[in-house]
Structure 1
Amino acid sequence: MRKLTFAMNVSLDGYVAAPGADLGWTTPNDEVFQWWSDRVGATELALYGRRLWEAMSSHWPTAAQEPGVTPAEYEYARRWLDMPKVVFSSTITAVDWNARLFSGDAAAEITRLKSDDGGPMDIVGATLASAAMRAGLIDEYILLTYPVLVGGGTPFFTHLESWVNVNLVGTQSFPNGVLLTRYETRR
C-alpha cells in the first residue's frame, strides 16, 4: 500500500492561501526551496487539485528556459516535469507534462491509487486534500509553517466529523523562521 502525504506551506494561523488566493507570503528561502525540490524528487506520484495544477503548470514547464534561472530552479523544473501526476478536475479537459486527468469520485480514485504497488504519493492542493482528509486517506501531514498571520483564506485543515489522532515524527527549522512539522496518522 502506498503512503499518501499532504504537505504545504501554511501560515501560523493555519492558511495555505490568504484571502484572494494570495500566496505572496510563501516565498521560500534557498533552504526551503531545496526541501521542496527534494520532496518533488522523492515523490512517485503527485495528486493535484485544479487550482494548484493551473498555477504550477503555468510556470514550471518553461521555467528552466527563463533568463536568470538559478540552478535550483532548473533542478526543480526538471523534477516537476519528470514526476507523474494525476489532476483531479471536472472543469478542465486536458493536461500535459507527465499528467493524466481524472474527473470522477476523488476519494474512490485516491483509495484505488493507494492500494497500488509503488512509492510515495503527495496530495497537492487544499480542496483535494480536504476530500482525502474526510475519507481518512492521508497517512502523513507535513506543515511548513511561515511566521505570518494572514487572517483568513484557504485553511490547511478541513472540517472533520471525528478526530484524527496523529503522532509527531519530526521537526526542522529553517533560517527564515519557517518551521517544518511532520505528523503521521495513527491507524
Structure 2
Amino acid sequence: MRKVSFAINISLDGVCDHTLFNPNPEIHEYFTEVMNEVDLIFFGRIMYQLMFPYWANVARDKSGTYDENKFAEKITSISRVVVSRSLTTSDENTRIVRANPAEELLQLKQLPGKTISVDSISMLPELIAAGLIDEFKLMIHPVILGNGRRLLDTGNLQEKLDLKLIETINFKSGCVALHYLKK
C-alpha cells in the first residue's frame, strides 16, 4: 500500500497561508527533495488554484531562481488529483474529483506507486479521521502571523492523533523541518 504524506509550510502560531511566507533557496530545495518521493499530489481546490498555474508558468518560462525553477519542473511533472465541486477545468496532468475525498484517496492508496502527497487544509481533518495520513512533514517558519488559515481549527479532530518524530532539519533561515510518522 502506498504511503500518504502531508507536507506544508506553517508559522509558529499554526498559520498555513503560503502567500505569507518568504521562500528561499533552501526551502525550495527541501520541497523539491520531498517531491522526488511523490508520484501523485492530492489537492483541494484552494491549494490547487494557489499552486497552478503559477508553478506551471515558472516551469514553462524558467522565470524563477534556479531553485524555484527546479521545484517548478518537479511539481508540474507529477500527476495531480484535485477535489472540487466548483472547478470546471484543469490542466492535462490533473483529474478533478467531485466528492468523497477520503474514499478516493483510499482507492489511490491501494494502487501501486510512490508516495501520495496531500495538499489540502480543508480536507485534512476528514483524511486524518479516516486514518489515511501516514506522515506529516511540517516546515516551521520563524514567524508569528497572528491571523490566517490555521492547520486545524478547534474541534476539527474527533480524537487526538499521536505522532512519532523521526527527523528534524534546521535551516540557516531559522526554519525547521519536522518529519513525523503516525504511531
Do these two structures clear the TM 0.5 threshold for a shared fold by scoring above it? yes
Identity over aligned pairs, percent: 28
Q: Secondary structure at the match of 2:123?
A: helix
Q: Measure how far apart 1:154 and its partner are.
A: 1.5
Inter-CA distance 167–135: structure 2 relative to 1 (3 Å threshold) = same
CA distance in 2, matches of 1:67, 1:123: 26
8 A contact 2:4–2:115 mirrored in 1:
yes
Q: In the TM superposition, what whole-angstrom CA distance separates every residue of 1:36-64 from its partner, at most 9, and x where no partner exists?
A: 12222321110011011011112111113
Between 1:167-176 and 1:109-118, the stretch displaced more is 109-118
CA distance in 1, matches of 2:137, 2:100: 25
Following TM superposition, where does structure 1 have runs of at least 4 consecutive aligned residues deviating by more than 6 angstroms? none
Inter-CA distance 146–99: structure 2 relative to 1 (3 Å threshold) = same
8 A contact 1:41–1:83 mirrored in 2:
no
User: What TM-score does the superposition give when structure 2 sets the normalisation length?
Assistant: 0.92
Query: What is the total number of aligned residue pairs between the two structures?
Result: 181
Of 157, 165, 169, the residue aligned with 2:166 is 169
1:178 counterpart residue number: 175
Does residue 74 of structure 1 match 2:53? Answer: no
2:80 counterpart residue number: 85
- Contiguous gaps of at least 5 residues in structure 1: none
1:139 counterpart residue number: 134
Cα RMSD (Å): 1.6
User: What TM-score does the superposition give when structure 1 sets the normalisation length?
Assistant: 0.90
1:8 counterpart residue number: 8
Q: Secondary structure at the match of 2:16?
A: strand
Inter-CA distance 166–81: structure 2 relative to 1 (3 Å threshold) = same
CA distance in 1, matches of 2:60, 2:109: 35
Q: In the TM superposition, what whole-angstrom CA distance separates every residue of 1:112-140 from its partner, at most 9, and x where no partner exists?
A: 11111211011012112232122221100
